[in-house]
Amino acid sequence: MFLPHTDADREAMLRTIGVKKIKDLFEGLPGEHLFPELDLPPGVTEMEALAELQHIADANETTGELISFLGAGAYNHYSPAVVDSILRRGEFYTAYTPYQPEISQGTLQAIFEYQSMIVALTGMDVSNASHYDGATAVAEAVNMAYHNFRGKRTKVILSPGLHPHYRETVHTYTVDSNILLEGEETPLDSGPEALIPLIDDNTALVAVQYPDFFGRIHRFRELIEAAHQAGALVAVHVNPLALGLLEPPGDFGADIVTGEGQSLGIPLSFGGPYLGIFATRQQYVRKMAGRIVGETQDARCQRGFVLTLSTREQHIRREKATSNICTNQGLMALAAAIYMSLLGKNGLRQVAELNFHKAHYAAAQIATLDGFELVYDEPFFNEFTVRCPRPVAEINEELLSYDILGGYDLGQTRAGLENHMLIAVTEMVSREQIDIFVDALAEVAHD
Amino acid sequence: MNFPKELKYTRNDEWIRMEGDEGVIGITDYAQDQLSDIVFVEFLVDVGESLEQGKTFAAVESVKAAAEVYMPVSGKIIAVNEDLPDAPEKVNSDPYGEAWMARIKISDPSELDDLLDADGIAKLERDH
């Protein structure tokens, strides 16, 4: 609660620090920057303001008007109308975190359903009620592994296939810790096995991505076995939609599964709010940040929901906590839960298949173009890397005149990837639109 | 409240039972009663580690609260009660027996003088 100060409060404070008026506090600042006169036009009516703002907003070009092949962690998927319609209900939309949780049965049920579906999708035992986004979920996996070994293992191995923004976030989280980050500079072409020599008995965590940032689907069994032999944990970051088709990481030995949940019915929205998925095995449940909702019966034997586990450190031993971020993306978790329950197991598989087939059609067509080449041989889901005959930024600029939003320019992420484009194809583009894209690429291939 | 005569106590409600130059550590009947149903016990040290008096070696959590368990005296951890994390309710049912938490080799016996005897802890908790 924010209580405004009374004039008496202010005067008492000013007296205590020995100044007469608030303005005296700013004496040290250059006069011309102090309380400048703002040169603002006269006020306008709401109608006029709206028209002006609309005019400004009209300069945006969105995925509504463009055919988009841009992904790299944020994907243009269809979000059924019912997702928005349910999550905008006042009961969900206005409520903040349930401080008196059991009174909010609807919220608890939504979290319970979300957690149950995430567990089924990832092959893990427990899921929390989410983090901010995929990047923070990966960073929390690093935190959890570090605390799991009580700070006695300080090395964390990050795959070069992890999204560069996620790796940056991990660097930010760990900048003032003794955690050593390794592995990011290993060659891109050598596969997950290239990380094995880095694993030792000081390694807390190996973090990989599935499919990786470049779209590749790797097999991780060997890497995971090596990590487990050294006593280290393994975190696998997923695109949850891809799990409609792919083997769940729980089945090949992951200890932690994180994910960017935006693919599950959450709109692009200029980069957020998104959804950080976090699931792990039962044995680590006490180390996981966040909370778990369980199903139970009330005194009248009716189905009800309770906060089964809420990490104690977040309330009491804060300095010992794996994480002090208690806030989750409740509304986005709800959106994902609605999306997943609406599609069901088969529907999710169908959407995944649509993505897979459209992306493979596009890749096959692009591979026939002069000057364009698929860079990697590994299987992929809905995104793949293409070497182009010209800088990607130039190609994308020209594609805009065809109303096409081109792929992600990988040249900005790593040396050696100049002219490399990461192309995402979702269920939102038709075969006809893919053909338009391929034709346009052929036309802009040369200056 | 039960405070066995043969034990020594800290003001934080840990107990220690001396066996030669070794000591067995747990939390008191009073502590378990105050915490109510214990649902979680976690050891925060490894066997072989040496800890100073007052350092945390375990954490317990009840339906009401969470608490840390401190070393009554300095020493090296020889063993922890591995059964306890799977049966935390033993802390409630048998705090001085089955729910022992750690066995240590004491490094400075003079620190035992800082501790309370059964009458001392009983008086302390009565006054609370």
| Nearest residue, CB atoms, A150 vs list B44, B61, B68 | B44
Question: Is residue A324 very low, low, confident or very high in pLDDT (cuts 50, 70, 90)?
Answer: low
Interface test with A, best of B49, B61, B63, B77 (most A CBs within 10 A): B61
List chain A domain ranges: 67-77+344-444, 81-340
Q: Three-state SS for A106?
A: helix
pLDDT, one tens digit per residue, over A162-171 is 999 999 999 9
Q: Which DSSP string corresponds to A346-367?
A: HHHHHHHHHHHHHHHHHHHHHH
Residue A291 has what pLDDT? 85
Among A73, A68, A72, A67, CA closest to A262: A73
**Domain architecture of chain B: domains with CATH:** 22-127 (2.40.50.100)
Does residue A313 belong to the interface with chain B, where contact is any CB pair within 8 Å? yes
ipTM of the complex in this document: 0.71
**Which of B40, B42, B66 is closest, CB to CB, to A316?**
B66
Which residues have a Cβ under 8 Å from the Cβ of A115 and sit 6 or more positions away?
A126, A127, A128, A129, A292, A293
Do A208 and A235 form a contact (C-beta atoms < 8 A)?
Answer: yes
Q: How many residues does chain A have?
A: 447
Give every CB contact of residue A52 below 8 A, 6+ residues apart in sequence.
A44
Each residue's pLDDT tens digit, A189-217: 888 999 999 999 999 999 999 999 999 99
Mean pLDDT (whole number) for A70-77: 97
DSSP per-residue codes, A376-388: --S-BSSEEEEE-
Q: A304: which residues sit within 8 A by CB, 6+ positions away?
A: A102, A105, A295, A296, A297, A298
Q: Are A126 and A288 in contact (CB under 8 A)?
A: yes
- Residue A23 has a pLDDT of 85
Q: What would the two tokens of residue A290 be? A: 């966040």
Q: How far is A150 from chain B (nearest CA, A)?
A: 7
Please name the amino acid found at residue A283. Answer: Q
Q: Which of A1-10, A343-352, B28-37, B61-70 has the lowest mean pLDDT?
A: A1-10
Instruction: Tell me which CATH code domain A81-340 carries.
Output: 3.40.640.10
d(CA A183, CA A167): 11
Q: Which residues of chain B from 64 to 93 reach within 8 Å of chain A, CB to CB?
A: 65-66, 68
CB contact under 8 A, B40 and A312: yes
Q: What percent of chain A has pLDDT over 90?
A: 77
Using CA atoms, how far residue A213 sits from A220, A230, A266, in Å, is: 15, 26, 20
Contact A266, A275 (CB under 8 A): yes
Q: What is the pLDDT of residue A316?
A: 59
**Hey, how many other C-beta atoms are within 10 angstroms of the C-beta on A131?**
28
Q: In angstroms, what separates the C-alpha of A312 from chain B's closest C-alpha?
A: 7
Q: Which CATH number fits the domain A67-77+344-444, given the four candidates 3.90.1150.10, 3.30.420.40, 3.40.50.300, 3.40.250.10?
A: 3.90.1150.10
Mean pLDDT over A150-157 rounds to: 95
| Residue A2 pLDDT level (bands cut at 50, 70, 90) | low
Chain A contact present for B40, CB below 8 A: yes
Token digits of residue A247: 């083997």
